[in-house]
Amino acid sequence: MVRAKLVHFKLSRSIVSDLPMIVGHVLKGAIFRGGVVATLAVILGLSSFFNAPVAAKDKGSTVAKDARLGGNKARTRFVADLSKATDYRIFTLADPYRVIIDLPNVNFSLPEGLGNSGKGLVSAFRYGLFAPGKSRIVIDVIGPVHVEQSFILKPKGNVPAKLVVDIVPTDRKNFERRRRELYNKRREKNNVQPASVDKSIEILTREKKHKGRLRVVIDPGHGGLDPGASSAKGSKEKDVVLAFAKVLRKKMKQLGKYDVKLTRTVDVFVPLAERVKIAEDYNASLFVSIHADSISKRLASRTRGATIYTLSKKGSDLEAQAFAKKENQSDVLAGLDLPETSSEVGGILWDLTQRETKNQSLKFAGFAVNRMSSKTKFTQNKMRSANFRVLRSAIVPSVLIELGYISNPEDEKLLKSKKWQNGMAIEMTKAIDRFLKDLN
């Protein structure tokens, strides 16, 4: 399960001691939202809870050293220790309920494995790079909540700056009302236009401009605050698939026949719909999303092998459906609130376009199974299908290759071996070449 493997914050014993100090500050007027900075004195004695003063590695970026939860279901407080006061933006999302804190680039130097469990109204939370130069903390909450107040306390002596967020329960109606108000304000400010509902006509009339070389987009899954699956040893899917995607790009470049683009080249979150858009905007003839799966500890030692997935509404089997559901969580984990993509709606024209794309996707999947078989075992059903968001392009043939199970020690070893990566990338390059040859 992706969710269970995420890095969470640990509840710290020092929260109890933070509370009177912070409440004191609040009472004296360090009030909520927009990064209002408290200027009040810090009560002595707190510094003993921190082993060392928090100092930024590079002066420019903010470092988060610790975080904790306090309170109960009537009011839950989240506190993050930061190397300096910083601007932030806070908002809530529904389905599932979440509180999102956006920050400038923050270096999260938090103890590994900070808590899967929450406290009070918080069930868990995650953090990481959301986009270049932007960091995000996503707090999962157990129901509709209201951010009663949030503020930043400046650092003082050995005591780091603190970002403090107080959450109280509310009902769905009030939650929605506040969200709508905030959303309208934001929309006015940014002049956001709602996405167009049906792209069928645009797509059918769009010329496939190949202008010389055919193009391929390789999509390393996950990234940033969405780590994907992980192994018992701590290997993360987002790192393994990025490393492999880079090797694959290298092999494709060495072939010298096609142009190749990666959806990400660093450890950053990219929304699923954005990955599709990258392929469409690039006029790609093929989109290959690279992933690795994980399974519960009980089954980890005997579950291994690769699978190739294509898009289908219903899913070929229950396992494929479950895997797609897990993969589709990526946006939710990173705190996105996007409407369903336009690829899901549309009329007959859309269906026809998508059918052709689907046939092409299946054709490539067949080539890939053939070539990859010399380098890896496959799961029982080599080719499966399910409703993956990242495969929902109507115009670019798209497959999701699950390279293996990162939770299986043998697969993990292969996934991390340079030799295996090279060999597998060569085979995949051959499959891609075989597929694109027919298009030329």
Closest approach of Zn ion to the CB of residue 215, in Å? 23
DSSP string, 88-136: -EEEEETTTTEEEEEEESEEE-PPTT--S--BTTEEEEEEEEEETTEEE
Nearest to 91 by CA among 147, 12, 153, 142: 147
Question: ∠ at Cα 176 (171, 182), nearest 5°?
Answer: 130
Cα 335 from chain centroid? Answer: 8
Is the Cβ of residue 5 or residue 119 nearer to Zn ion in the bound state?
5
Is the Cβ of residue 77 or residue 291 nearer to Zn ion in the bound state?
291
Question: ∠ at Cα 273 (395, 183), nearest 5°?
Answer: 135
Residue at token pair 């995650």: 126
Beta-strand relationship, 398-405 and 286-293: parallel
**Edge-first strand listing for the sheet containing 215-220:** 259-262, 215-220, 286-293, 398-405, 306-311, 378-386
Is the Cβ of residue 236 or residue 249 nearer to Zn ion in the bound state?
236
Closest approach of Zn ion to the CB of residue 121, in Å? 29
Is the Cβ of residue 88 or residue 287 nearer to Zn ion in the bound state?
287
Is the Cβ of residue 64 or residue 268 nearer to Zn ion in the bound state?
268
Closest approach of Zn ion to the CB of residue 369, in Å? 19
| Closest residue to Zn ion, based on beta-carbon distance | 291
Question: ∠ at Cα 358 (226, 320), nearest 5°?
Answer: 45
Residue at token pair 């699950």: 402
Q: Name the DSSP letter for residue 71.
A: E
Closest approach of Zn ion to the CB of residue 291, in Å? 3
Closest approach of Zn ion to the CB of residue 126, in Å? 15
Residue ranges binding Zn ion (CB under 5 A): 221, 228, 291
Is the Cβ of residue 162 or residue 392 nearer to Zn ion in the bound state?
392
- Give counts: helices (H), strands (E), the chain: 12, 16
Closest approach of Zn ion to the CB of residue 385, in Å? 16
Beta-strand relationship, 76-82 and 215-220: unpaired
Is the Cβ of residue 291 or residue 358 nearer to Zn ion in the bound state?
291
Closest approach of Zn ion to the CB of residue 233, in Å? 18
